[in-house]
């Protein structure tokens, strides 16, 4: 994982320098998500980024400038039709939280800020945005500090299930790229989800310090969050690292990525492909380890936290 961390840090540092020299905006932050947000990017990785502010017009112009700098660094840009093509209006995604007219993209942008983002411009406004979202989720805790972070937990589950459903509909609509999407879904998306899930469940043992604990843990990457929770509760995290290292080696291998692009794999033939079969087995091991870890820590976490998780 160290090589991917080093590569991610190098690219993000270069972007930060360019943006800091170019902009002087105090009410805007620019964040990266995906593999760069987790610090496990490689050369095939897209630069998934978006602008967070309270001024959509300013954000669109900034988005164009970041795109220009990314091209200069020869970085792959995100899907122009996806959530990374839209600026995030902070006030809007906070005030629309939980309303039936909130769009899936707004839910995704808000949750991603908490799940796996890193700021590449204006840390101060980034922390303001993250804390503003968390404070809205934790509004109930002002009167009931012992209550679990159930509203955030509900949104987390909702978002992860949306990712799974979105993958399936994309598979039906256009399954040419289903292999990479499937591999990512079963590895990095699970790690992203588990990173916050473990934190919310582990917060149940922190009594009235729940919100402070969650805010502290949000600053870590998903893999760091899981590692912290596991080690705090006496669970050996090494099987997790072994599985994730294997995934990172393969997903960031240029020749492997090209092989799936050049020769698209038919779904019915997937287990005849050695690499896919190995990664499917690897993802099964990863998810089994995470599930068993939850069962081990079941007696440490509160009963109420598990009731909220299930119901």
**What is the set of domains in the chain, with CATH numbers?**
1-137 (3.30.460), 143-311 (no CATH)
pLDDT digits (tens, 9 = 90+) for 180-194: 999 999 999 999 999
Q: Which of 119, 118, 97, 115 is nearest to 106 (CA)?
A: 97
pLDDT at 124 over 80: yes
pLDDT for position 176:
66
pLDDT digits (tens, 9 = 90+) for 63-101: 889 999 999 999 999 877 778 887 778 888 888 887 888
pLDDT for position 25:
86
Q: Are 54 and 27 in contact (CB under 8 A)?
A: yes
pLDDT at 112 over 80: yes
Give whichever of 2-16, 196-210, 264-278, 281-295 has the largest mean pLDDT: 281-295
pLDDT at 271 over 70: yes
Give the mean pLDDT of the chain.
91
Residues paired with 31 in a beta bridge: 50, 119
pLDDT for position 123:
96
Give whichever of 57-66, 99-108, 198-207 has the largest mean pLDDT: 198-207
Q: What is the mean pLDDT of residues 17-30?
A: 92
Name which residue leads in pLDDT, 170 or 195: 195
Name which residue leads in pLDDT, 89 or 165: 165
Give percent of the chain above pLDDT 70. Answer: 98
Instruction: List Cβ neighbours of 302 (8 Å cut-off, separation of 6 or more).
Output: 148, 204, 205
Q: Which of 75, 243, 264, 34 is nearest to 171 (CA)?
A: 264
Residues paired with 121 in a beta bridge: 30
């Amino acid at each position: 994982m160290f090589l991917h961390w080093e590569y991610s840090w190098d690219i993000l540092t270069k972007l930060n320098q360019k943006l800091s020299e170019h902009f002087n905006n105090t009410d805007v932050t620019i964040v990266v998500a995906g593999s760069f947000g987790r610090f496990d990017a490689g050369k095939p990785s897209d630069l998934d980024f978006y602008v967070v502010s309270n001024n959509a017009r300013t954000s669109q112009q900034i988005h164009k400038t970041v795109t220009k700098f990314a091209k200069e660094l020869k970085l792959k840009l995100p899907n122009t039709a996806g959530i990374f093509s839209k600026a995030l209006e902070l006030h809007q995604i906070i005030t629309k939280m939980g309303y039936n007219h909130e769009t899936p993209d707004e839910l995704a942008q808000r949750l991603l800020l908490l799940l796996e983002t890193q700021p590449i411009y204006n840390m101060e406004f980034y922390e303001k945005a993250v804390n503003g979202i968390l404070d809205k989720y934790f509004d109930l805790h002002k009167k009931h500090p012992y209550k679990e972070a159930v509203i955030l937990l509900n949104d987390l589950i909702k978002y992860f299930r949306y990712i799974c459903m979105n993958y399936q509909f994309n598979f039906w609509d256009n399954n040419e790229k289903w292999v990479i999407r499937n591999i990512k879904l079963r590895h990095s998306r699970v790690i992203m989800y588990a990173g916050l899930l473990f934190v919310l469940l582990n917060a149940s043992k922190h009594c009235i310090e729940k919100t402070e604990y969650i805010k502290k843990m949000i600053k870590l990457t998903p893999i760091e969050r899981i590692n912290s929770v596991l080690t705090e509760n006496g669970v050996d995290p090494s099987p997790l690292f072994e599985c994730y290292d294997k995934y990172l080696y393969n997903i960031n291998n240029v020749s492997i990525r090209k092989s799936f692009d050049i020769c698209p794999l038919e779904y019915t033939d997937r287990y005849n492909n050695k690499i896919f079969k190995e990664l499917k087995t690897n993802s099964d091991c990863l998810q089994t380890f995470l599930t068993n870890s939850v069962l081990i820590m079941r007696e440490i976490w509160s009963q109420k936290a598990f009731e909220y998780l299930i119901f």
